[in-house]
Amino acid sequence: MGFNIYYYESKIECCCCKKKFTTYKVRPNRYKVVDQDTDFMPIYEGLNPILYEVSVCPHCGYAYHKSMTRTFGPFMQLIKEIYIKELQKPMNICEVRSLEDAIASFKLAYLVSRASMEEPLIMANFAIKIAWLYRLKKDSQSEMRYLQAAREFYSKSFASNKEGEEKLQYLYAELSLRIGDIEEAKKGFSQLISGRDVSAKYQKIARNRWEDYKYNNAIDHSKLILRAKGEIEDV
Ligand SMILES: [Zn+2]
């Protein structure tokens, strides 16, 4: 193909079937992080590189993400027995992807990782990214399902340092809030806000988020009361 200004072709040798293929990746100058959501979903200007993070082999269907660690030897044997065998026709999603394609690619990565029994943190990060893609697709029911799965995996995860642990604690509280488990959210945020060993950074992030939630909730609540009294119109 000719030169594409948005994507470059990454050359991959499949670590499962050993065949070669190329798959699109977003050129680094075609996106910029301009903001992030409260669960750390990056908000991009331009293209969204997350859609291209998982490489899916069009020959055998193996899905690879750079965070995976069990991609060799006995693990690959498990992947072949549990995942590849069950797979129908491998998808070809090596060029421009829709949100649907990207969701499918992460679901395949999730299945591969489940077969090779990757650490919960890796599973959690796949689940949350699937939830983000559903958020972009405005499918909130599916988003909630994957946020819930992500929360369960994060609750079983361990980080390698203190900041990582605090991030896990924050995400657990944040995802609890998003799925409507307010009790768990409150418990999680207050542990971060008042914990003596918690870094200033996470104390602040947690305090801002929880106060923001309470403030918005109070506004919603007073609107409900006024609406019930007939003092404001339904919108
Ligand atoms: Zn392959």
Task: Mention every residue, 6+ apart, whose C-beta is less than 8 A from residue 73.
Answer: none
Helix (H) or strand (E) holding 12: strand 7-13
* Distance from the alpha carbon of residue 21 to the mean position of ligand 1, in angstroms: 9
% pLDDT > 70, the chain: 97
**Can you tell me the mean pLDDT for 161-181?**
97
* Distance from the alpha carbon of residue 86 to the mean position of ligand 1, in angstroms: 14
User: At 45, is the secondary structure helix, strand, or coil?
Assistant: strand
**CB distance 211 to 204 below 8 Å:** no
At 109, list the tokens: 């990565």
* Distance from the alpha carbon of residue 62 to the mean position of ligand 1, in angstroms: 5
Please name every residue paired with 45 in a beta bridge, in sequence order, or none if there are none: 32
Per residue in 126-146, pLDDT tens? Answer: 999 999 999 999 999 999 999
Q: What is the DSSP string of 45-69?
A: EE--GGGGSSEE-TTT--EE-TT--
* Distance from the alpha carbon of residue 49 to the mean position of ligand 1, in angstroms: 22
* Distance from the alpha carbon of residue 18 to the mean position of ligand 1, in angstroms: 6
Break the chain into its structural domains and give their ranges.
Answer: 8-118
* Distance from the alpha carbon of residue 69 to the mean position of ligand 1, in angstroms: 17
Per residue in 212-231, pLDDT tens? Answer: 999 988 888 888 888 888 77
* Distance from the alpha carbon of residue 6 to the mean position of ligand 1, in angstroms: 25
Q: What is the C-alpha R_g of the chain?
A: 21
